[in-house]
Amino acid sequence: MSGRAQLMWDEAVTGYDFGPEHPMDPVRLALTRSLVGALGLDREVEVVAARSAGESTLRLVHRQDYIDAVKAASLEPDAADPSYGLGTVDDPAFAGMHEVSSLIAGQSVGAAEAVWRGQALHAVNFAGGLHHAMPGAASGFCVYNDAALAVARLLELGAERVAYVDVDVHHGDGVQAAFWEDPRVLTVSLHEHPRTLFPQTGWPEETGAECAEGSAVNIALPAGTGDAGWVRAFHAVVPEVLADFRPQVLVTQHGADTHFEDPLAHLAVSLDAQRAVQVACHELAHEYAEGRWVALGGGGYAVVDVVPRSWAHLVGIAAGRPVDPETVIPEGWRQEVYARTRQLGPMRMTDGRWPVEWASWEEGYDPADRLDQAVVAARRAVFPLRGLLA
């Protein structure tokens, strides 16, 4: 197996553009790629442009009638069928939508193939992580569910146990739905509580179908959760269920919208805590999946201050050259930020909160604490189904 990481990148993914008023601004992808280059990380990885996902691949998750609807909307955006979630406020139709969505999906599928076949130990597609798309509908800024497609491709290639861990602020509902009845896939989502955030799913009681009980794990955190609680909740649940499941591959989704500056959600997590969980996912891949790690992007709408730094850290960790949080960001990149957005870019690769301090679950918990209550709810819902002590 090659120890070299792959970075999946094709400039054309920046064509995933819902329009100038939409929060998912593709400049976040362009700025991430250029920051990766400015930090010299692209010299530490193999940069690969995978081919687009074809219809047979898309059908691993999506219905043919939905694919046909996306293709039709791609040709005539004004005639998009809203019954498929297309042409809506969240998912406006645009020319070429099918092609660029297939391209993004192809990068995640290509990452999965490279890791499974031993061509790379780790592979990153920060343009991916579009985890809300359903088998028959677009949802939450997501047209094709590249994360679910990557997992489905791993199963098709012969994987018997794939773990998917999602730390986006929103519940990974599309991936959970795709594998709800499949005990070969463990889906774990750490997200803001559905009472206060789209898509209003991801309750602890959602644990998988009867034929796959315990295969879905949901840690629903109270609004306002900050670094210590977020990292504590991750470590209180994720390592234990991975140790029990023994995945052959770990697929992770790293939406940057948990950040305190993100305009669409209500957690208070710093860039430094995001980096700490990225490091933890890397370590868990080595501990439980022989190092096989597919890492995806996701949400993130603070497109200058947060997203590029968070995902550049992810690339550095996957490349085996993690970026020191105190690193000063190259001036050339900051000039590019201003030229593209008329905003001032961040100065360093930290929010000033490194190292992140948190209390281990093994030290005990406070039954009156809302964060601890969320962790207890997740553990009590799923751990007994897996034969674990809650």
Asked whether the beta carbons of 123 and 115 are under 8 A apart, the reply is yes
Asked whether the beta carbons of 272 and 262 are under 8 A apart, the reply is no
Catalytic-residue membership of 193? no
* Biggest alpha carbon–alpha carbon distance for the chain: 58
Task: Extract the tokens encoding 283.
Answer: 């370590």
Asked whether the beta carbons of 154 and 116 are under 8 A apart, the reply is yes
Burial of 344 (0-12, 13-18, 19+ CB in 10 A): exposed
Residue among 247, 113, 106 at smallest CA distance from 185: 247
Residue among 376, 371, 308 at smallest CA distance from 29: 308
Sequence letter at residue 342: R
Among the listed residues 131, 132, 282, 313, the single catalytic one is: 132
Going by their DSSP bridges, the two strands 293-296 and 249-253 should be labelled as parallel
Tell me how far apart the alpha carbons of residues 339 and 335 are, in angstroms, rounded to a whole number.
6
**SS3 call for 112:** helix
Asked whether the beta carbons of 37 and 64 are under 8 A apart, the reply is no
Q: Check residue 369 and report its DSSP letter.
A: -
SS3 content of the chain, % helix, strand, coil (to 5): 40, 15, 45
Separation in Å, CA 194 to CA 169, 209, 252, 338:
10, 20, 21, 36
Tell me how far apart the alpha carbons of residues 9 and 4 are, in angstroms, rounded to a whole number.
16
Task: Extract the tokens encoding 366.
Answer: 């406070």
Residue keyed to tokens 């501990």: 287
- Treating both helix axes as pointing N-terminal to C-terminal, what angle do 227-245 and 271-288 enclose, rounded to 10 degrees? 10
* Helices (H), ranges, 246-389: 271-288, 307-318, 331-341, 370-382
Going by their DSSP bridges, the two strands 122-125 and 216-221 should be labelled as unpaired
Residues serving a catalytic function are: 132
